[in-house]
Amino acid sequence: MSHPIMFPVATVVVPGRLIVSILLLWVVSIAAHAAPTLDVSGDEIHLTDFSVGYFVDNSQSLSYEEAREKPYEAANSTATLGTGVSVTWHRIALHNPGAHDKALFLHMPMAYQVRAIDIYEERSQGMEGQAAVDLNEASDNPLMHRGTIVYPFSVPAGETTVLFVRSHLYSHQWFAAEIYDDKHSRKALVGGHLDIALLVGMMMALVFYNGLLYFATSKKENLLYSLYLISGVVWIALSYGLLAKAFNMYGDAVFILNLSVFTMPIFLVLFMMVIFETREFYVTEHRILKGLLALLIAGLAYGLFDIEGALIPASSLAALMMVVTFSVSLSILRKGHPLAKFFLVGHSFFVVFNGFAVLFYKGLIEPNYLNSHGVGVGIVLEAITLAFIISYRIKVLEDIRSQQDELKRQAATDPLTQLYNRRFFMTEGEHLVQQARTTGEQVSVIALDIDHFKAVNDTYGHHAGDLVLKDMAGIFQKFSRSRDLIARFGGEEFVILLPGADQAEAEGCAERIRQGVEKHVVQAGENVTIRVTVSLGVAQVNSHMESVEDAVKRADKALYEAKEGGRNRVCFVV
Residues in the chain, total:
574
Q: Around Cβ 373, how many Cβ atoms within 10 Å?
A: 21
Q: CA–CA separation, 214 vs 226, rounded Å?
A: 9
Strand partners, 155: 102
The Cα angle at residue 86 between residues 81 and 87, in degrees rounded to 5: 95
Q: Report DSSP letters for 30-96, one per residue.
A: HHHB-SPPEE--SSS-EE-S-EEEEEE-TTS---HHHHTTS-BEEEESEEEEEES--EEEEEEEEE-
Angle between helix axes 314-334 and 260-275 (nearest 10 degrees) is: 10
Q: CA–CA separation, 390 vs 343, rounded Å?
A: 10
DSSP state, 542? -
| Residue of 492, 505, 549, 561 with catalytic role | 492
Sign of the Cα pseudo-torsion (157, 160, 161, 165, in order) = positive
Strand partners, 52: 75
Sequence-distant (≥ 6) Cβ neighbours of residue 96 within 8 angstroms: 39, 40, 41, 102, 155, 156, 157, 158, 159, 160, 161
Strand partners, 126: 123
Is there a contact between 322 and 349 (Cβ–Cβ < 8 Å)?
no
Q: CA–CA separation, 271 vs 266, rounded Å?
A: 9
Separation in Å, CA 12 to CA 6, 15, 22, 108: 10, 6, 16, 54
Q: Around Cβ 18, how many Cβ atoms within 10 Å?
A: 10
**Closest Cα to residue 549, out of 502, 478, 477, 487?**
487
Collapse the DSSP code of 113 into the 3-class scheme (helix H, G, I; strand E, B; otherwise coil) and give the result: helix
**Closest Cα to residue 89, out of 53, 125, 65?**
53
Please say if 492 is a catalytic residue.
yes
Is there a contact between 488 and 417 (Cβ–Cβ < 8 Å)?
yes
Is there a contact between 342 and 388 (Cβ–Cβ < 8 Å)?
yes
Q: Report DSSP letters for 503-529, one per residue.
A: HHHHHHHHHHHHHHHHH--EEEETTEE
Q: CA–CA separation, 391 vs 409, rounded Å?
A: 26
DSSP state, 478? H
Q: Label residue 17 exposed, middle or buried (CB < 10 Å: 0-12, 13-18, 19+).
A: exposed
Active site residues: 492
